[in-house]
Structure 1
Amino acid sequence: MLPSPGYYPSLKFRPVRFYHGFTNLWGSQHQRVSSDQSSVSIWLDKNSGSGFKSIRAFRNGYFSTSIKLQRGYTAGVITAFYLSNNEAHPGFHDEVDMEFLGTTPWEPYTLQTNVYVRGSGDGRIIGREMKFHLWFDPTSAFHNYAILWNRREIIFFVDDVPIRRFVRWSPATFPQRPMWVYGSIWDASSWATDDGKYRADYRFQPFVARFTRFVAGGCTAFSPPWCRAAPSSPSGFGLSPRQSAAMRWAQSRSLVYDYCRDPTRDNSLTPECRQRRRPF
């Protein structure tokens, strides 16, 4: 049985209407905003995918949306909600990802979480992936997905249950520059499903992702120094004992890949895997 985390950050923030917080980034003809701006549908077909971006950049905050994914054959298709500053720092950017890797009808969706720091996809470090098969069907209803980022940690939430906590072990391995919030759908056939074994099949187009309940609460790049980061727990930072128990439950039930436990990876450049030093 799903344990209660005891703390619900999604209830601490009021959703914003789409155009009050976001704008189209690409594929405008593959994006439809509801009349009340409470939701947006984006889709991929053989001509294009689509994406949107927050109007403001943030230096910390709580960022969430509720997503409903498409059922059936979606191999090769990525539906993503993420933070990035790639447009400001091309080739040397930071990124925090929640990506749904498309699937075949007989397999579950994979939720991939990842953290890139200063362009760490440079061949030395591919990324810091942790992958999950969630405890529910993400195509049957909307579920809330969130990233909380402050100067000490990044926490990934699913329906307010923390599924991953990435601690700042050193300044070199933690994103500190302002980032924007993004949502997108695109073709990643070369790697998304079983390392490219199953590719996007456009006989099943369009591939549609639905987003609603947009939250981007935090300190923008231009907020005054006294602006406080969004709290991750009742104490402010870290996770409470109940949240930690909920995360252990989620990982024991749903975690299917952890880069720190991959024997083929060289983790000498990922000090957080050793966890021998105190966080900054």
Structure 2
Amino acid sequence: MYRNMAFFRNKLLFCLLLFCLTPLVFSHSVSRHYTPPSVTPLTNLFTHVLIDEGFSTFFGGSNIKIINNGSMAAIALDKSSGSGLISRNDYHYGFFSAAIKLPAGISSGVVLAFYLSNANKYPHNHDEIDIELLGHDERNNWVLQTNIYANGSVTTGREEKFYFWFDPTAQHHYYSIIWNVHHIVFLVDNIPVREFPSTGAFSSVYPSKPMSVYVTIWDGSDWATHGGKYPVNYKYAPFVASMAEMEMTGCMSNETVLPNSNSCSKTSHSSSSRSDPVYGQEFVSLSEQQITALQWARSKLMFYSYCKDISRFKVMPSECK
């Protein structure tokens, strides 16, 4: 009898302990499944660009498939090559957006980048605005990294990293960049996650030359996975990303002008032209609604900022002070 009582007492204690621990385990596994604040969807303001009209092949043409009459594209990484697209035009400020669905499954070392750059024209003095989607997490969760370079300052990356509040492999999600004379804003599903002003300490490191738009997928094992700790496992290849609802609306710096775009030849870094499609108040500064969403994203989802990396910088970049 006492033996049975001891058995039931121990079982009860075990069940109570399991009951107490279960919420902790559960909350950890879904801790980033937040409901984001409501924001005005800027992606609804502009028309979509047909991918085969707005882009040409950058590399890996055999791994690029244009589908749905040019409204969608699939780009892939396999053991032979990655792949990528480059815009047919250069832009000096604008709104740039893509709805992207990332490869599912094990994706360590895979990098998908949606970015602006002029390294092809200014190899020693280039600018760059990056959205990099990194599949290197040991739990196979994708990570969002944003970065900015200006005037060839490639030795000082300005990275910030975020977790997602959704599964980026389940369906398409919007990844967007605002770039104008006032600021650079990175957005995910229209939620601002980072703002980089062009004034004050930021002005000397602010991208200011026309850039092309790129979408690429490639093997980033050497740098995106802690020095190759989690390299790409090509047993799971090909890694295929899907893109749709491309938007490239801004000041064109060359002769060919896409629908819903402008030449904006008079727009400069110090003044904004009213023909610039990102001149309106919704692009000059963040609304109160967007500021709330930005604070939410940075408090809930950001897990790395270069401005807090004292082991990396003996002297912090000027804008961090």
TM-score w.r.t. structure 2 length? Answer: 0.80
Looking at structure 1, the residues matched to 80 and 204 of structure 2 have their Cα atoms a distance apart, in angstroms, of 39
Asked if 1:137 corresponds to 2:167, the answer is yes
Instruction: For 1:48-197, list aligned pairs within 5 A.
Output: 48-103=81-136, 106-122=139-155, 125=156, 127-168=157-198, 169=200, 170-197=202-229
Looking at structure 1, the residues matched to 195 and 252 of structure 2 have their Cα atoms a distance apart, in angstroms, of 22
Measured after TM superposition, the shift of residue 91 of structure 1 is 3.1
SS of equivalent residue, structure 2 residue 293? helix
SS of equivalent residue, structure 2 residue 114? strand
Deviation digits for residues 130-151 of structure 1, max 9, x if unmatched? Answer: 0001100100110000010001
Which protein has the larger Cα radius of gyration, Structure 1 or Structure 2? 2
Deviation digits for residues 73-128 of structure 1, max 9, x if unmatched? Answer: 11111101000001001132111100111135724211100001122123xx2x00
Measured after TM superposition, the shift of residue 220 of structure 1 is 1.0
Select which of 276, 296, 301 maps to 1:228.
276
Looking at structure 1, the residues matched to 104 and 44 of structure 2 have their Cα atoms a distance apart, in angstroms, of 28
Moved over 4 A (4+): none
SS of equivalent residue, structure 1 residue 112? strand
Instruction: Give the aligned length.
Output: 269
SS of equivalent residue, structure 1 residue 219? strand
Deviation digits for residues 185-232 of structure 1, max 9, x if unmatched? Answer: 011111212342100111111011111111000111142314325157
Change in Cα spacing, 1:202 to 1:72, as seen in structure 2 (3 Å) is same
Change in Cα spacing, 1:233 to 1:259, as seen in structure 2 (3 Å) is farther
Change in Cα spacing, 1:173 to 1:245, as seen in structure 2 (3 Å) is same
Looking at structure 2, the residues matched to 233 and 69 of structure 1 have their Cα atoms a distance apart, in angstroms, of 33
Aligned to 1:206: 238
Asked if 1:256 corresponds to 2:303, the answer is yes
Change in Cα spacing, 1:48 to 1:158, as seen in structure 2 (3 Å) is same
Q: Single out whichever of 139-148 and 224-233 deviates more from structure 2.
A: 224-233
Change in Cα spacing, 1:265 to 1:105, as seen in structure 2 (3 Å) is closer
Aligned to 1:219: 251
RMSD over aligned Cα, in angstroms? 1.6
Looking at structure 2, the residues matched to 201 and 248 of structure 1 have their Cα atoms a distance apart, in angstroms, of 36
Deviation digits for residues 156-189 of structure 1, max 9, x if unmatched? Answer: 0101110000111344210000000000001111
Change in Cα spacing, 1:100 to 1:231, as seen in structure 2 (3 Å) is same
Measured after TM superposition, the shift of residue 261 of structure 1 is 1.1
Change in Cα spacing, 1:259 to 1:267, as seen in structure 2 (3 Å) is farther
Change in Cα spacing, 1:232 to 1:71, as seen in structure 2 (3 Å) is farther
Name structure 1 gaps, 5 residues minimum: 275-280
Measured after TM superposition, the shift of residue 2 of structure 1 is 1.5
Aligned to 2:286: 239
Looking at structure 2, the residues matched to 182 and 86 of structure 1 have their Cα atoms a distance apart, in angstroms, of 11
Name structure 2 gaps, 5 residues minimum: 1-34, 255-262, 267-272
CA contact 2:150–2:206 (8 Å) conserved in 1: yes
TM-score w.r.t. structure 1 length? Answer: 0.91
CA contact 1:9–1:232 (8 Å) conserved in 2: no
CA contact 2:137–2:143 (8 Å) conserved in 1: no
Q: Single out whichever of 42-51 and 262-271 deviates more from structure 2.
A: 262-271
Q: Single out whichever of 236-245 and 187-196 deviates more from structure 2.
A: 187-196
CA contact 2:63–2:76 (8 Å) conserved in 1: yes
Change in Cα spacing, 1:175 to 1:29, as seen in structure 2 (3 Å) is same
Measured after TM superposition, the shift of residue 72 of structure 1 is 1.2
Measured after TM superposition, the shift of residue 152 of structure 1 is 1.7
Q: Which of structures 1 and 2 has the larger relative contact order (alpha carbons within 8 angstroms, sep 6+)?
A: 1
